[in-house]
Amino acid sequence: MADFGYSLTPSSRIDLNKADRETFGKLVKLEPDVLKCMACGSCTASCTAGVYTRTSIRSAILYLQNGREKEALEFIKGCMLCGKCTIVCPRAINTRQLVLSICKIYNLK
């Protein structure tokens, strides 16, 4: 193919029929506040680990909602539980505990 100096972005279409909604349901049951996230990104902007890694609660929540656990994990594995994101979250989501709960429920190893 000719090189135009740019390429098409890969499709970001999500097949929610294939996504694992059940596990997400479990998470919502444990942390109902996860649904309150408005993706403002304050958590990501303040994140201590975010200076060096892709750590981002906002993205993790979005990816989980879209049934993409593997990618979501990438966004929380560097979290140091410093708690800054919880303090700045305008929706008063306990993001720090959310990180632990995600790890618990998705049983990620």
Partner 1 sequence: MKERILSGYDNFVLPFMIGMVFLCIYLLIGLIRILKHIPGPDRKKLALSFINPRIIYKDCRDILCDCLLHVKIFKRKALLGYMHASIAFGWFMIIVIGHIEVALYTPQRNGLIYYPVFFRYFTMENNHTLRGAFFFFLMDFFLLVILSGIALAMYKRVRSIALGMRRTTKPSLADRIGLYCLWAIFPLRLLAESFTAGISGGSFLTKPMNFLFANFLSNDYHILPTWWAYSTVLGTFLLVMPFTRYMHIPTEAFLILLRNAGLKVTRPRKGFAEAEIYACSSCGICLDACPMNMQKKNLKYSSVYFIRFLRRHNTRKINEIADKCLMCGKCVALCPVGVESCAIKRAQRSTVTDGLYYDYSYLKTLSPVPANPADVSETMTDKPVLYYAGCMTHLTPGISKAMKEIFRAAEIPYRFLDENGGICCGRPLMLAGKEKAARELVRKNTELIRAAGCDTLVLSCPICFKVFREEYDLQGITILHHTQYIENLIRKGKLKLNATSRSYVYHDPCELGRGAKVYEEPRRILERMGRLVKAEKEKEESICCGGSLGSLTLNYEDRIKITRGSLKALTYNHPDNIITACPLCLKTFAAQSPVKVMDIAQAVTENLEAIREPAASGTEKTQFGN
- Footprint on this chain of partner 1 (rule: CB under 8 A): 46, 48-49, 51-53, 73, 77-84, 87-88, 92, 94, 96-97, 100, 103-104, 108-109
Contacting residues for 83 by C-beta, under 8 A, at least 6 apart: 96
Cβ(69)–Cβ(106) under 8 Å? yes
Q: With CB cut-offs between 5 and 8 Å by kind, which of partner 1, ligand SF4, none does residue 43 bind?
A: ligand SF4
* Residue number, 14 or 87, with CB nearest to ligand SF4: 87
Helical H segments across 1-109, by residue range? 21-30, 42-46, 57-65, 69-76, 84-88, 95-105
Pick one of 37, 64, 72, 102: the residue that binds ligand SF4 (CB under 6 A). Answer: 37
Q: Does 57 bind ligand SF4 (CB under 6 A)?
A: yes
Cβ(32)–Cβ(98) under 8 Å? no
Give one DSSP letter per residue of 73-85, joined into a string: HHHHTT-----HH
Q: With CB cut-offs between 5 and 8 Å by kind, which of partner 1, ligand SF4, none does residue 42 bind?
A: ligand SF4
* Residue number, 48 or 66, with CB nearest to partner 1: 48
Q: Does 65 bind ligand SF4 (CB under 6 A)?
A: no
